[in-house]
A and B are shown apart, each in its own frame.
Chain A
Amino acid sequence: MSKIMTMKEAISQHVKNGDFLFMGGYICRPPTSAIHEIIRQKIRDLTITRSNAADDFDMLIGAGCVKRFIATFLSLGLYGLARCYRRSLEKGIPHKIEVEEYSNLSLPMMLMAGAMGMPFVPVKDMVGSDLLNIKSFMGENKYKMIESPFDGSPTLLVPALNPDVAIIHVQQADEEGNAQIWGIGGDCKYGANASKKVIVSCERIVSREIIGKDPSRTIVPSFKAVAVVEETFGAHPGYTPGFYDVDFSFGYLYQQASNTVEGFQDFLKEWVFDIEDRTAYVQHYIERFGYAQFKKLEAEFDYGYPVSYAY
């Protein structure tokens, strides 16, 4: 059964106020296009998570969509601190979000536990730090410190996470949602499989036969997917290996814009609210910066040796 639909349909049918969302990506393959659609549809009170969040999470927070954030890190990388995130926590603009803080070991492990059906998972980090002295909306269930039942040593347990919906952007998927990536994985595979349902955004839809030519690349099986959306350039200003590079100048543009509330609102108007979908976004990008600039982001081709699964 084909699950192909537009991003507008995917978000309106599968993301509702108050949901717990995993949104994958690690500069590599962030689902920016889906995030813009969530902002356009003014979905509210979301709990969001990902290890190492960047401009896309900052934008969701600034747009007022977020109530809670299970966090490890949020910054604009090269361009410094995340402006909307800071305004939220320092000044309550547009409101103060609640943050539960973990690390880039513990959070991926919590998603892995969720994907595996494990109730919790021991991790070896966070001990001795103030990360254990702050508890937000998860309260006493943020973690448990126990003596190992095996050797009595101090052991930190963190709970499994099972988000309502995962949204990931991948290179290619088939119409039923078998989703394939290559390159930096971040916490995509476990985050998606920990979630109850998955929205697959992809650069291109391919046939089931193409998926079968290199099935080791599949990170989400069709039965987890509820929507497949073909969104070319869907991770911009992040990158997708084999398709396009990081757009550093756009990253700078976002940082400059988000420096002030007014600048941020203007940015949202120009790049989100006045834009209907990803096609219009690409068109606007080309009109604004020229085709040469758009073309410059395009990846070179350097194919690997084709693999054979034959026997």
Chain B
Amino acid sequence: MTTHPDDYIKPELMACCGAREIKDYDLVIVGTGFPAMAANIAKYTHAPNALMMQESGVFDATPKRPALSVGDPCLNPGAAMIGGLVEIMGMFLQTGQVDVGFLSGSQVDKFGNINTTVIGDYDHPKSRLPGSGGANPIGSLVKKTLIIALHDTRRLSEKVDFITTPGYIDGPGARERWGLEPNTGPHMIVTNKAVLNFDENTKEAYLASYHPDSSVDEIVALTPWDLKVAQDVHETEPPTAEELRVMREIIDPARMIKIYENRGYV
């Protein structure tokens, strides 16, 4: 019998939403924070044969502490293979072999396009952000992209200021017209309020489930496009006792995931 303790924090729930999308034997390219947490939950629960890699050059790392960057020292000892960007991004990712990628964005739109470059005009930025890094190739080339975002009318938008990483670009067929592989693209946006999935026909994100302390009305109000709601919209399944145990005892005993609460993921 699955139990759901009620002492979880929102970032833990979000990490679980990501973890549940990883299947056994998936190849997963991960960043730090949520992505690494989600991938590890999956590995310790339902997907023990999932294999992870970091863009910096690491395959199948065995970190003894949560990695704080994709180049973190703890990724080195024990990894199955270490090369560089050309090996991971070129040889593994560009060849279409990676199943799942996790991305977060300062701004995400209804087609799952992600902006991590600039807020405002490119030449006269209101706020200059870091840039693509690995995000563009990951969002272009993995089979399934999972997106982490804060749920408010600034972070989510009808149309991003700058497409750093393509989601479905401007709608159905756009990825294919640009030469990206068919059946790739954003699969889910996990926010601190809800899980959004993408409509197969319109390629627009719609509300699939609302987190336990939220509601359909609240989420519709916090979403700056005409958000469609799934017929079977339901409450997001909270973390199970086993998922929480794995997070707190194995992956992140220091509970570093709490820093996301300070970043607004509540």
CB pair A73–B166 under 8 Å, yes or no, is: no
**Is B117 on the interface with A (CB-CB < 8 A)?**
yes
Q: Considering the chains assembled together, what is the distance between the CA atoms of A118 and B48 in angstroms?
A: 41
CA distance A95 to B90 in the complex (A): 35
**Is B75 located at the chain interface by the 8 A CB criterion?**
yes
By the criterion CB–CB under 8 Å, are B130 and A124 in contact? no
- Whether A73 and B130, one on each chain, are in contact in the complex, defined by CB atoms closer than 8 angstroms, is yes
Q: Which residues of the partner chain B approach A281 to less than 8 Å between Cβ atoms?
A: none
Interface residues in B201-259 by Cβ distance below 8 A to A read none
Contact of B73 with A245 in the complex, beta carbons under 8 Å: yes
Nearest B residue (CB) for A106: B137
- Out of A27, A124, A130, A183, name the residue touching B140 (CB < 8 Å): A124
Please choose the segment from B6-14, B34-42, B81-89, B188-196 that sits at the chain A interface, where 4 or more of its residues have CB less than 8 A away.
B81-89
Q: How far is the CA of A157 from the CA of B15 in the complex (A)?
A: 37
Contacts of B132 in A (CB 8 A): 72-73, 101-104, 129, 131
- Return A125 CB to nearest CB of chain B, in Å: 4
Nearest to B76 among chain A residues (CB) is A183
A102 to B164, CA, bound (A): 10
Interface of chain B residues 122 through 153 with chain A (CB within 8 A): 122, 125-137, 140-141
Bin the interface of chain B by size.
35 or more
User: B72 touching A246 by the CB < 8 A rule?
Assistant: yes
Contact A183–B163 (Cβ < 8 Å): no
Residues of A within 8 A of B122 (CB): 130, 134
Let me know if A77 is at the binding interface, CB within 8 A. yes
Kindly list chain A residues whose C-beta atoms are within 8 Å of the C-beta of B80: none
Does A109 lie at the interface of the complex (its beta carbon under 8 Å from any beta carbon of B)? yes
A101 to B164, CA, bound (A): 10
- Which residues of A132-186 have CB atoms within 8 Å of chain B's CB atoms? 134, 153-156, 182-186
A105, closest chain B residue (CB): B137
CA distance A182 to B135 in the complex (A): 26
Q: Is A302 interfacial (CB-CB < 8 Å)? A: yes
Q: Is the pair A125, B71 in contact by a Cβ cutoff of 8 Å?
A: no
- Does B89 contact A104, Cβ atoms closer than 8 Å? yes
- Residues of A contacting B128 in the complex (Cβ-Cβ under 8 angstroms): 81, 85-86, 89-90
Stretch at the interface among A187-195, A205-213, A263-271: A187-195
| Chain B residues whose CB sits within 8 angstroms of the CB of A106 once the complex forms | 137
A-B contact count (CB 8 A): 180
The B interface, classified by DSSP as helix, strand, loop or mixed, is: loop
Given the complex, which residues of A lie within 8 Å of B135, measured CB to CB? 103
> A33 contacts the other chain (Cβ, under 8 Å)?
no
Report Cα–Cα, A91/B178, bound state, in Å: 35
* CB-based nearest A residue for B118: A89
Contact between chains at B137 and A129 (CB < 8 Å): no
- On whether A184 and B56 interact (CB within 8 A), knowing A74-B130, A127-B179, A155-B179, the answer reads yes
Q: Is the CB of B163 within 8 A of A185?
A: no
Check A82 for interface membership: any CB of B closer than 8 A: yes
**B-contact bits for A107-136, CB 8 A (1 contact / 0 none):** 011001000000000011111111100100
Do the beta carbons of B141 and A103 come within 8 Å of each other? no
Tell whether A125 pairs with B141 under 8 Å between CB atoms, given A112-B90, A186-B84, A239-B73: yes
> A71–B130 Cα gap in the complex (Å)?
10
Q: List 23 A-B contacts (CB under 8 A).
A: A26-B56, A28-B73, A52-B71, A73-B130, A73-B131, A75-B130, A82-B130, A89-B128, A108-B84, A124-B94, A125-B94, A127-B166, A129-B136, A131-B132, A155-B179, A182-B76, A182-B82, A183-B82, A188-B84, A189-B86, A190-B86, A241-B73, A248-B68
- Which residues of A pack against B, CB within 8 Å? 26-28, 51-52, 71-75, 77-78, 81-82, 85-86, 89-90, 101-106, 108-109, 112, 123-131, 134, 153-156, 182-190, 239, 241, 245-246, 248, 302
Name 11 extra pairs, CB < 8 A, besides A89-B128, A128-B178: A51-B85, A51-B133, A72-B131, A103-B136, A104-B132, A125-B141, A128-B166, A128-B174, A130-B122, A154-B178, A184-B76
Binding site for A on B (CB under 8 A): 55-58, 68-73, 75-77, 82-87, 89-90, 93-94, 117, 122, 125-137, 140-141, 162-166, 169, 174-175, 177-180
